[in-house]
Amino acid sequence: MFEQIYKDLSTSLPEHLDLIKCDPNYVIHYHDGESLELSTDRVRLRKEVERFEGESGGEGLEGFLAWVYLSHNLAFARLFDR
């Protein structure tokens, strides 16, 4: 989406921004000293969720990510891509 916006403005994203991947991209720290690392690496993320929620948590994560994917595509098709 961002690349298209810059293209529409007759320029390119890399001419203006250097995008850097953060890994992990988010860390939650709990009061008891435990932490949860959220990563864009799906295997790593699932293992981290299963550490707290067990195997069913990993399965729930996969269902959630599938739902997010469909919602994202629908939103772009109906709203943002117009």
> What is the per-residue pLDDT across 54-80, written as a single tens digit (0 to 9) for each?
999 999 999 999 999 999 888 887 776
Model-level pTM? 0.71
Question: Virtual CA dihedral for 14, 68, 58, 31, nearest 10 degrees?
Answer: 70
- Whether the per-residue pLDDT at 81 is higher than 80: the answer is no
Give domain limits for the chain: 2-80
Which residue type, as a one-letter code, is found at position 5? I
The confidence band for 9, taking pLDDT boundaries of 50, 70 and 90, is very high
* Distance from C-alpha of 1 to C-alpha of 81, rounded to nearest angstrom: 8
Q: Kindly state the percentage of the chain with pLDDT values over 70.
A: 96
Contact predicate 67/74, CB 8 Å = no
Whether the per-residue pLDDT at 82 is higher than 80: the answer is no
